[in-house]
Amino acid sequence: MSVPDRMTSPSQRAPEVLLVDDDDLIDATFRAAFEKLGLPPVVRVADATDAVALLADGKHFDVIFTDLYMPVMDGIELVQHLGKIAYGGAVVMMTGIDFIRLLRDKNLDAPVQIDAETEALSLDLDAILGDGETVNLIRVMRKPFRLEELTEALRDAGVSLP
C-alpha cells in the first residue's frame, strides 16, 4: 500500500483511516460501517504501540480512531505520542468505560466536560500534551455508537462520503 499524497485532502481521495482498538466487535462494526458508506476498509491494530510503529515507518493516516483503554499502551498515551510527533491528521477517541475513572487511574487532572444535551464527552488536551504540542482531536465518542455518529466524525475530519 503506498503512502497517499499529503497535499491532497481526504475529500479528494480515498481516506486513510487507522482504527486502534483491541475489541474485535468494534473492528467488525467499523468494517461493516465503512462498507455501507462506500469507503475502503480501515487499517486496524489492536494496540497503540502498533500504531506508533506504523507512524514511525512513515505510514500516514487522515484519521485515527483510538480506544482509550487498551492493555499495553492506551489511547491517552497514543495522543501524547501524536502530540510529540506533530501528527497532522484528525483523531477521534472512543471509550466504552468510565472516562473520568481512566483519567484518575492515569493521575491526570484533565477537566472532562459532558454536554448536557448530547452527553458527548470532551477532554482538555492541554492537560495531556506538553508545551507547544497539539493534536486535532475531533471528538470523544462513547461506545457503542451509531452510524450517524461515525459519519459525523468522518465529515468533521474532512472525509467526503460517497
Give the pLDDT of the chain (162 residues) as one tens digit per residue. Answer: 344 444 445 556 789 999 999 999 999 999 999 999 999 999 999 999 999 999 999 999 999 999 988 889 988 899 999 999 999 999 999 987 666 566 666 665 555 566 666 666 676 777 778 888 889 998 888 888 899 999 999 999 999 887
Say if residues 138 and 91 touch (Cβ distance below 8 Å).
yes
Q: Which three cell numbers stand for residue 131?
A: 508545551
Say if residues 43 and 60 touch (Cβ distance below 8 Å).
no
Question: Is domain 17-156 annotated with CATH 3.40.50.2300?
Answer: yes
Say if pTM beats, i.e. exceeds, 0.85. Answer: no
Query: How many other C-beta atoms are found inside a 10 Å radius of the C-beta of residue 94?
Result: 26
Query: How many other C-beta atoms are found inside a 10 Å radius of the C-beta of residue 108?
Result: 15
Q: Which three cell numbers stand for residue 71?
A: 492493555
Asked whether the bond before 144 is cis by omega within 30 degrees of 0, the reply is yes
Q: Which residues contact 60 (CB under 8 A, 6 or more apart)?
A: 3, 4, 6, 16, 89
